[in-house]
Structures are given as C-alpha cells and as structure tokens.
Amino acid sequence: MKTKMDFPSINERKPDGQGDGGQAYKVLIVDDSMFVKKQISQILTSEGFEVVGTAGDGLEGLEKYKELYPDVDFVTMDITMPKMDGISSLEKILEFDKEAKVIMVSALGKQDLVKKALMIGAKNYIVKPLDRVKVLERVLQSIK
C-alpha cells in the first residue's frame, strides 16, 4: 500500500518567500494603485513572504521604510506616483540605507525611467501586467 511517505518531496517544498531558517522575507509595497498593491501582495504572500507595510506614494514609502528599518528585506516601488515619484523615493531610501533592495514596478513603455532607476541602484524591475512567475523570479533574484 502506498502511503504519504512515498511522496514526501513535492508538498514539503519550502515556500520561496522564506529564508533558510524558515523566516519570511519582509516586503514593503509602494504603489498608488490599490489594484496593483493587492496583486503584488497576493502573489508574494502566497509564497510565504510577509507584507510588513504598504504606501501610496514615494514620500510615504520613504517614511515607512525608515520606520520599518531594519525589519524590511526589500521594497517594490511603482515609478509614477503622486507627491514623490518612485525614482526620487528610491534615491532617498538608498541615501538612508545603501544596502536597500528596491525592485521597480513599471508599465511597459517607461524603459528610460527603469534604466535610470537601475543606474541609481534599484536591484531589478518588474513590468506590468504582473505575471506571477516573473514577479517571484525577479524578487528572488534580487534578495538572494
């Protein structure tokens, strides 16, 4: 008779959102769209990441980062936002913590801004519409 013991490996995979010690990677999501925030949050929490904060513009994102630091592993950052855009927020976060891992989230068509963000020090970028597999791949590349 087959038992669960015959298939131990598939279901026991450690979620990608957890480090070697089993602790969840902590993310701050900065985006002015409630829809995008929800989407990113769903994709990441389904893999075991922990959303420790969200912000609706670059300025709030910067303040939240400072508040959460050092209990935040990475940030997803929209580019076009009111009050302070994602590139300025990225710059200021890096001034505060030069090791900060910031992943830009952009609609297709903002290549110049994405390039600028990468030159400044963003770790990676994700293009909308968001694809679950690509989001996870880019996030994992950036934090590991």
Partner 1 sequence: MRVEYINPFVEAAFDILKEVLGDEVQRGELYLKSTSQAVMGVAAFVGLAGNVEGRVLFDMTMETAIAIASEMNDETLTTLDDLGKATITELANMITAQAVTKLHDLGFTFDLTPPAIFTGENMEITDNEVEALIVPVITKQGKIEINVAVRERT
Neighbouring residues of 84: CB distance < 8 A, sequence distance ≥ 6? 57, 58, 59, 61, 62, 92
Should residue 33 be labelled a site residue for partner 1 when binding is judged by CB under 8 A?
A: yes
Residue numbers 124-143 binding partner 1 by CB under 8 A:
128-129, 131
Should residue 34 be labelled a site residue for partner 1 when binding is judged by CB under 8 A?
A: yes
SS3 108: coil
> Which whole-number Å values give the CA distances from 50 to 47, 62, 105, in the listed order?
9, 19, 18
Query: CB 137 → partner 1: shortest distance, Å?
Result: 17
Which stretch in 29-37, 62-70, 83-91, 97-105 sits in contact with partner 1 by CB under 8 A? 29-37
CB-nearer residue toward partner 1: 67 or 131: 131
Cα–Cα nearest to 102, from 81, 118, 83, 116: 118
Query: CB 19 → partner 1: shortest distance, Å?
Result: 28
